[in-house]
Structure 1
Amino acid sequence: MKTLLFDYGGTLDTAARHWNYVLLDGYRHVAARFPEMRKVEGEAWRKAYVHGERMLAKSPVISPADDFRELLLKKIRIEIDFLRASETIVLSSEQAESAASHVADYCDGFARNIVSESRSILAQLATRGYRFVLVTNFYGNIRAVLRAYGIDRFFPDIVESAVVGVRKPDPAIWQLGVEVARAAADECIAIGDSYGKDIVPAQKIGCQTIWFKGEEWEEKQYDETLPTHIITRLSQLLDILK
């Protein structure tokens, strides 16, 4: 039986759009209600996004029970606090909390719609006899996220960075996925949206790879001969994986 090693964030929940763009869309979406959010652009936004990522990585603010909206809300609060502290935006505490809630609602709704589409594709692949292992950089709450979005049944086996203590792009996290699958690396197909964090390290340990090419953090030229396959829509997996 072939095993599919799936990345989560960006691959199953945003259709290969880097999360910074989805969050930025959320800030823009609430700008009619909170005009200060129109200032959240460019370098100011990138700094806030990176700050939020680093704070979540080093601070135990995410609970294993947090669903994705709760995770988003905590992250967006950190970003807005950073933007207020740097005087990029001027909001009262009450306005900041309301804005964070509205951005979280927007982004959660976006992800929920994409995951619904991904669920259908996973179901079809499951009927073809494929086994799934999730290999993800996440915060210790991925099971709660999958459960809330209705795809937990597809992933009884999960390798989550916060749990195993290894993060992408370290190939070791993909090797753990292979070991969980109890398969040889060349019997596993790694699927992810990040060329550097998913495709390169998975290929390095001997997996076949499918790059879900989309909108990454930075535009770069990549060696497109490295992935076994390249897709631009998740549904294309159904044509490749017969």
Structure 2
Amino acid sequence: MALLCLRAHPPQRHLCLHGVASREHMPQSDPRAYSAMKETEGIIFDYGGTLDSRGDHWSEVIWRAYVSERAEVTREAFREAYVHAERALDRDKSIGPQDTFRDVMRKKIGLQLDYLGIYTPELHEAIGRRCYDSARECVAESAVTLHRLAEDYPLAIVSNFYGNLRAVLADFGVSHLFRAVIDSGETGIRKPDPEIFRAGLRALGITDPGKVLVVGDSVDKDILPAHSLGCRTALLPGVPWDASRPTPRLPEETVTLRSLSDLTEM
């Protein structure tokens, strides 16, 4: 499998995951990587895990907050609580279109702590604040790259979310950078269905998928469905939900990023 990798960065903690090159083991810049941007006329980004957590699955971000707050819970129990909260949020539709990410975290963490039987107002507030601050920091970091790219390309987001992604982006001060926001909670179409990416292409007004670069952190949900439409693809790998599960092999043309800022150097 040929992976197109970009400039070297300082080693990071991410491990090699079943055919997806880890950031610390990536080779020096491959000149073929420049072809990913050479013909590009628009860029579609995933949101959660890509723009707001440097490639890490959000269960990992929240778990780190639990550890930092010394919550008395095992990782296995936390994972069960994480799944419980996600299902409850989807079932009850308790996240409104005007909810910010702070609101999302309050609802999500509250459900988790209740499930675990360790709820206290102090722990609820502390974990939620850590998660919100982490996302805000990551989005601010991503915004530097997004601002540069927006000078030359129309940008869009295609994301599995709760129907409030526009409010989240506005709260973080980056909504103006995107020509379109395709939120699964609004469209009723979820990744990995390629149709949600087709909606992104239509929103950008680009008829040739080969002229669009799709950037995401998930091989299953971002890279493969976008590639099936003929889009160019770039993977931002991080800590996944389940590192023991084999990851599908990347298409040979997929660029693997060390950080989002690599896009401005291609």
Normalising by structure 2, report the TM-score: 0.81
Match of 1:139 among 162, 176, 182: 162
Number of residue pairs the alignment of both structures matches: 224
Structure 2 residue aligned with 1:54? 87
Structure 1 residue aligned with 2:45? 6
Amino acid corresponding to residue 79 of structure 1 in structure 2:
Q
C-alpha distance after superposition, 1:6-62 (max 9, x if no partner): 00001000000110010011111222xxxxx132x2221111111111111221211
Structure 2 portions without partners, runs of 5+: 1-39
Specify the SS of the correspondent of 2:69. helix
Structure 1 portions without partners, runs of 5+: 32-36
Cα RMSD (Å): 1.4
Structure 2 residue aligned with 1:34? none
CA positional deviation for 1:185: 1.1
Structure 2 residue aligned with 1:204? 228
CA positional deviation for 1:182: 1.5
Structure 2 CA distance, aligned partners of 1:69 and 1:227? 37
CA positional deviation for 1:169: 1.0
Normalising by structure 1, report the TM-score: 0.89
CA positional deviation for 1:228: 2.2
Specify the SS of the correspondent of 1:38. coil
Structure 1 residue aligned with 2:72? 38
- Identify which of structures 1 and 2 has the higher relative contact order when contacts are C-alpha pairs closer than 8 Å and 6+ apart: 2
- More helix per residue: 1
Specify the SS of the correspondent of 1:214. coil
Structure 1 CA distance, aligned partners of 2:98 and 2:209? 32
Match of 1:182 among 185, 205, 210: 205
Structure 1 residue aligned with 2:265? 239
Structure 1 CA distance, aligned partners of 2:92 and 2:209? 34
Specify the SS of the correspondent of 2:72. helix
**Aligned 8 A contact 1:2 1:130 in 2:** yes
Structure 2 CA distance, aligned partners of 1:136 and 1:60? 17
**Aligned 8 A contact 1:159 1:173 in 2:** yes
| Correspondence 1:99 to 2:133 | no
CA positional deviation for 1:227: 4.9
